[in-house]
Amino acid sequence: MNKQFLKAGMLGLLVAGWLSQAALAQSDPSGKRRVTSTYAITNATVFKAPGDPGSKATILIKDGVILGVGTALTLPKEAKVIAGDSLYVYPGFIDGAGTMGITKPKDVERPKDFVSSNPPDEVAGITPWRMATDSYSAASTQVDDWRKAGFTMSQVVPDGGMLPGKTAIVLLGEPKTNNFLKVNTAVAANFRSSRGMYPATLAGVMSKFRDVYQNTALVIEHERIFAANSGVKRPQASPTHTAFMPVVQKQLPVLFTAGSELEIRRALALQKELGFKLVLTGLENYASVIDVIKSSGTPVLIKLQVPDDKSIKSQKADGVTEATKAQYARVKESYDQALKLAAQLEKKGILFGFSTADAKAADVQKTLKAMISNGLSEKAALAALTTNPAAILGISGMAGTLEKGKLANLVVTTDTLFNEDTQIKHVIADGYVFDYEVKKKAVKAEAASPKPEAAPNTVTVEGLWEYTSETPAGSSGGEITLKRENGVLGGSITYDDPSGSGKASAPIKNASLTGKTLSFEFDVAAGGMSLTVTISGEINGKNMEGALSVPQMGSFPVKATLSSPSQAN
Amino acid sequence: MKKHIYILAAFFGLGVGMSHAQVQKGSVLIKNATVLTVTKGNLESSDVLVQNGVITQIGKNLSAPAGVSAIDATGKYLMPGIIDAHSHVGLDVVNEASAPITSEVRMKDVVNPQDLGIYRALAGGVTVSHAMHGSANVVGGQNATLKHRWGSEDPADIIMQEAPRTIKFALGENPTRVHGRGNGIQPRSRMGVEAVIRNGFNEAIQYKKAWEKYTLAKAQKGNTVTPPAYSERLQTLADILDGKIIIHCHSYRADEIYMLINVIKDFKIKKVVFQHTNEGFKVAPEIAEYTMGASVFADWWAYKMEVYYSTAYNAAILQKNGAITSINSDSAELIRHLYHEAGKTQRYGGLTDEEALAMITLNPAKQLGIEDKVGSIEVGKQADLVIFEGHPLSSYAVPQMTFVDGVKYFDRKADKDDQRLSVAATEMVEPIFLRANEEAHRCMQDVDKYFEAFQGAFAKEKH
């Protein structure tokens, strides 16, 4: 490369950098910088804490701190006023343990002398020294989604193996600022084994956990002897042992992910045997262990999601045998019981909050309403969203309620929180105001308005569809082009290329349209294998809703819109 | 004393640490049965009284104490609960296949009391099973002895807590295939298997010495001896050397059986039971002299090279040579009719009724170190009992009721269609197919999963 040219290029970059900095210093060409950090929500119905019946008050905040809550506040000139007359204000929600904004660190390359029976900790998923802060992105759309659902703080948990790393408490404020409130708040653990190496199973993971714990205790003892005497062999703590020391010294809790009854019992058994501080998270099925949790005194974070009702809805009323009906009844019983679990925790007086990990932000209202209509009190529901997680995370002094001096984390709604039609209008996190569009109540008479596409028995399928799909890997989407040639439906589909960025395309196979139901298949090449993906859905006008199913992975919701229908039909 | 604490706790409204729910104990009087005691002959038209989980009286014309219900077993047979010395039911994990020695792994950690296999075993009269680690490693994990208290929620409640510790060893094709051929590490041959065991025990001796030195020094003021690393793996091997753990060794060929006998003689280990032991008949006198015997299949072989030289007379030959011999299942299917399997020793070897029944009761109890508690119908023993219609060694035998600690967990007349202890809230109900699970033999379970992570095809044999 021409050196002169390179230099000129470098200089250009430097100048550009200087220019942009200078520009920021003088004004804000983006127009995004806020004009004030002082806000007042005036004359709103304020619920300061769970159980508060609510009263009219004004809340003044500045620089991310609540300056006052009351009726006789003097508002400074720079305060931007949000007229709260018709609004309701609650403390911002706190996620006890979540994975929003967290990306999984890349797999570590195996060393040349790798032996699967004795792998390096880092390769085997034992990385307690890693910090959630290193893999967190405040700009993630997941963070946006949870903030929109009312969450203002989260204890984020790193992704990885059995000991993935340390958690951190983040504020869901302006993404460009430093949002870490507290780092290294707990050591995350779960029963995830390593693929193809030790520990390869749950049994190995339990043993390895004991091993890490006991050897950390011995390293601490070694260091003590070394510090107190001369002539002692120097201690050689591994990164794992160093990072695990706060657990053995009971300075940090272990945040153990345990979804099922047996996992909960196993985590409690390890705790009883070794004696560390424990918080359980991700609880899903725990009906039979509520008393066990209670007597252990362990705080828990339950998954903020109730089971889906697909299996209940698919139960048929007619044409099934008595034996099948008996099985239906058991599933129904189990489903009903699952909805009541949160209420049972309240009844037993167990300290519980929520975990957003593996839950859907869009379902929060639905989930909470389901729990409340199954016996959870509104007070307890709000406590599980605010004061309980604050207590479990040890931040009650700064968060969880609306009080002078606490962090400016608020949820502003159009009606009382758990009301059927309530919507969130503003979320204030770390003193930053996020506005959300409030939809008018859905017009029930929609069916009455004539729709040009909805002529009886004709379903438009040909043309260009845009689709999105929710998979565990995140949201993805692309375009579906459908056309009929010689009476045979075919076309192509684009999708996110699994081998990297960008889109890949595949021809559509076995397409069929029966009534309003469209279904077709296409092949995806991934990691040297070919998977046949099936999409099937029901078309209503220009919209299609259905499922995308991948063999051995399951099925995921898919939605599509016909953006440009074919003219020739 | 304990009772007082509970009352006090209840009074003050405190939660009591009930993580170990009390194991249920029952009382019952079984009348007019043909009692097959296994140790003291057969008693015609006799009664057995069970109080609080223990057999308290055996005789004729016993009357039920107040509050104890009686069961009329006229024309039926009563035998001790069947004990399976080699099983994998009730386990969420069978093989931690990732290292040649995984003695730190505990099957007690992965017990699943909701496994339907437990109920099916009860329906076959089995009250105690030895839930073993698999055979992928030379030294596998520590096993759990289970009592089939169906319906328990806490895994601790189905573990026979008073049973001694046992551990799985494995010789021959399985460990050499997984580690030698699969991973390119020792052991690749039968010689390598021996080396892994000997090296393991020698390391354990060093480990024990290092800890003894440290423990001694720690007590001194101004100690400068630093602690050695902790290894439950080596500690467990040291415990074997100290006689605290019974080895249950998966083995087929006579040469490797004799090899292990030589190893244990060198390390002065007494507590060894051979499992499978298809060529045990060739070294029966040695097994009788140096070990706690062999636990074998009645007639199951030829599923891989090392299991071709086999005979259905194996159990009888071992027995006649004085080796403690039991018949096991290693299978969630076979466990349902171990009484048939025991009967085969009469067709092949002409054993007496008592000898044949001992193969599935007292003898496995001896091999698990629990013969003072279960394995025969005697006063003072735990009331694990089965009522049979027909003599249990008859082809027409059908178990009617099964008791563990005097509590009835199976009753053919009250057998619900759906015995599952829990059902997922999201389960899609599909039609039921009555078909035996083809993956019932689980000795190599979890190994395939372990291997497919980094290599494709893997041998199909699983024993």
**Measured distance CA(A355)–CA(A282) in Å, rounded:** 6
At residue B437 the predicted structure's pLDDT band, cuts being 50, 70 and 90, is low
Q: What are phi and psi of A288, to 5 degrees?
A: -85, -5
| Of A487-491, B237-241, B297-301, the least confident | A487-491
* Three-state helix/strand/coil letters over A68-133: EEECCCCCCCCCEEEECCCCEEEECEEEEEECCCECCCCCCCCCCCCCCCCCCCCCCCECCCCEHH
Compute φ and ψ for A12, nearest 5 degrees. Answer: -55, -45
% of chain B beyond a pLDDT of 70: 89
Phi/psi for A2 (5° steps) reads -70, 120
Cβ separation of A201 and B179 shorter than 8 Å?
no
Closest CA relative to residue A374, chosen from A347, A349, A342, A345: A342
Measured CA to CA in angstroms, residue A551 lies from A520, A530, B446 at distances of 14, 11, 21
DSSP string across A180-209: EEEEEEEEEEE-PPPTTSSS-SHHHHHHHH
Q: Minimal CA–CA distance to A165: which of A236, A300, A255? A: A255
Distance CA B116, CA B120 (A): 6
Longest dimension (CA), chain A: 92
Whether residue A94 contacts residue A389, with contact meaning beta carbons closer than 8 Å, is answered with yes
Q: How many CB atoms lie within 10 A of CB B340?
A: 18
Strand A432-435 and strand A278-283: the pairing is unpaired
Copy the structure tokens of residue A96.
């006890």
Q: A311 vs chain B: nearest CA distance in angstroms? A: 5
To the nearest whole Å, the CA of A206 is away from the closest chain B CA by: 7
Q: What is the pLDDT of residue A51?
A: 96
E strand map for B52-187: 54-59, 69-72, 77-80, 82-87, 126-131, 139-142, 144-147, 165-170
**Packing angle, helices B254-266 and B190-218, rounded to 10:** 20
Cα nearest neighbour of B99 on chain A = A117
**Beta bridge partners of residue A558, listed in sequence order:** A469, A546
Measured CA to CA, the distance from residue A198 to residue B97 in angstroms comes to 8
A 10 A CB-CB count for A282 gives 24
Q: What pLDDT, on a 0 to 100 scale, did the predictor assign at position A384?
A: 98
Is B262's pLDDT higher than 80? yes
Which of B98, B110, B223 is facing A197, going by the closest CB pair?
B98
Query: Which chain B residue shows the shortest CA-CA distance from A220?
Result: B227
Q: What is the pLDDT of residue B7?
A: 38
Please state the rounded mean pLDDT for residues B273-293. Answer: 98
Spatial CB neighbours of A220, under 8 Å, sequence gap ≥ 6: A245, A248, A249
pLDDT at residue B461 tops 50:
no
> From the CA of B217, how many Å to the nearest CA of chain A?
12
Residue written as tokens 């362990």? A298
Say what angle helices A239-248 and A202-228 make with each other, to 10 degrees. 90
A311: nearest CB among B15, B427, B451: B427
Q: Which helix (H) or strand (E) holds B294?
A: strand B294-296
How many CB pairs below 8 A link A and B? 167
Q: Is B219 on the interface with A (CB under 8 A)?
A: no
Residue from the list B93, B431, B454 with its beta carbon closest to the beta carbon of A201: B93
Q: Which residues of B touch A117 (CB under 8 A)?
A: 98-100, 179, 183, 185
Q: Do A201 and B95 touch (CB under 8 A)?
A: yes
Backbone phi, then psi, for B115, in 5-degree steps?
-60, 120
Looking at the complex, report in whole angstroms how far the Cα of residue A329 sits from the nearest Cα belonging to chain B: 10
Among A247, A248, A221, A214, which Cα is nearest to A235's?
A221
Phi-psi region of A198 (alpha: psi -120 to 50; beta: other; left: phi over 0): beta
pLDDT for res A527: 58
B155 touches chain A (CB under 8 A): yes
- The model's pTM is 0.82
**Two tokens at A273?**
């045997």
Query: Residue B110 and residue A203: Cβ atoms within 8 Å?
Result: yes
- Six-digit token string for A472: 């565990």
| Among A162, A201, A223, A264, the residue to mutate for chain B (most B Cβ within 10 A) | A201
Token digits for B14?
């405190």
Mutate to test the interface with B, among A113, A114, A116 (most CBs of B within 10 A): A116
Closest to B267 in 3D by CA, of B102, B165, B139: B139
Cα angle A304, A306, A311; round to 5 = 155
Q: Is B222 on the interface with A (CB under 8 A)?
A: yes
Amino acid at A323: A
> In one letter, which amino acid is A225?
I
In eight-state DSSP terms, residue B178 is I
Distances (CA, A) of A27 to A14, A181, A292: 20, 29, 60
* Subunit contact B224:A198, Cβ cutoff 8 A: no
B454 contacts in chain A (CB < 8 Å): 116, 195-196
Summarize the confidence of residues B394-408 as an average pLDDT. Answer: 98
Q: Which residues of A touch B133 (CB under 8 A)?
A: 203
**Distance, CA of A107 to CA of A100 (rounded, Å):** 20
Task: Please indicate whether, in this complex, the C-beta atoms of A235 and B141 are within 8 angstroms of each other.
Answer: no
C-alpha–C-alpha distance, residues B150 and B118, integer Å:
7
Helix (H, G, I), strand (E, B) or coil at A141: helix
| Cα pseudo-dihedral A90, A91, A92, A97, rounded to 10 | -130
- Sequential DSSP letters for B229-281: PP-HHHHHHHHHHTT-EEEEEEE--HHHHHHHHHHHHHTT---EEEEE-TTGG
Is B229 within 8 Å of A215 (Cβ atoms)?
A: yes
Q: Which among A270, A366, A545, A389 has a CA at the least distance from the CA of B109?
A: A270
B446 touching A, CB under 8 A? yes
What CA–CA distance (Å, rounded) separates B112 from B118? Answer: 10
Q: What's the pLDDT score for residue A331?
A: 95
Q: Which residue has the tokens 């900790």?
A: A121
DSSP state of B310: -
B109 and A202: CB-CB below 8 Å? yes
Please answer whether residues B9 and B18 qualify as being in contact, where contact means their C-beta atoms are separated by less than 8 angstroms. Answer: no
Farthest-apart Cα atoms in chain B, separation: 75
DSSP A444: G
> How many Cβ atoms from other residues are within 10 Å of residue B346's Cβ?
15
Amino acid at site B460: K
B154 vs A contacts (CB less than 8 Å)? 265, 292
State the ipTM, two decimals.
0.90
Other CB atoms within a 10 A radius of the CB of residue B384 amount to 30
Determine the pLDDT at residue A333. 95
B426 touches chain A (CB under 8 A): yes
Q: Find the DSSP H helices in B14-172.
A: 116-123
**How far, in Å, CA of B279 to CA of B276, rounded?**
9
Contact in structure between A551 and A532 (CB atoms under 8 Å): yes
Report the gap between the CA of B450 and the closest CA in chain A (Å).
5
Does residue B114 contact residue B120 with C-beta atoms inside 8 Å? no
Of B104, B179, B425, the CB nearest to A334: B425
Q: What angle do CA B283, B287, B289 make, to 5 degrees?
A: 120
Q: For every one of its 569 residues, what pLDDT tens digit does chain A have, with 9 covering 90 and above?
A: 445 544 544 444 444 444 444 444 456 777 778 889 999 999 999 999 999 999 999 999 999 999 999 999 999 999 999 999 999 999 999 999 999 999 999 989 999 999 999 999 999 999 999 999 999 999 999 999 999 999 999 999 999 999 999 999 999 999 999 999 999 999 999 999 998 899 999 999 999 999 999 999 999 999 999 999 999 999 999 999 999 999 999 999 999 999 999 999 999 999 999 999 999 999 999 999 999 999 999 999 999 999 999 999 988 888 888 888 999 999 999 999 999 999 999 999 999 999 999 999 999 999 999 999 999 999 999 999 999 999 999 999 999 999 999 999 999 999 999 998 899 999 999 999 999 999 876 554 444 444 444 344 467 788 888 888 876 666 778 889 888 887 788 888 988 776 666 778 888 988 888 778 888 888 877 656 677 888 888 888 888 888 888 766 667 788 888 888 775 44
The DSSP output letter for B48 is E
| Helices and strands per DSSP (H, E), number in chain B | 13, 17
CA angle A355/A212/A273 to nearest 5° reads 75
- What letter would DSSP give residue B102? -
Chain B partners within 8 Å of A266 (Cβ): 109
Evaluate whether A241 touches A215 at the Cβ level (below 8 Å): yes
Nearest to B418 among A226, A235, A327 (CB): A327
Cross-strand bridge partners of residue A523: A532
Q: What is the DSSP letter of A526?
A: E
Looking at the partner chain, which of B92, B183, B417 has a beta carbon nearest the beta carbon of A323? Answer: B417
Set of chain B residues whose Cβ sits within 8 Å of the Cβ of A195: 453-454
**B423/A308 CB distance under 8 A:** no
Of B224, B229, B427, the CB nearest to A331: B427
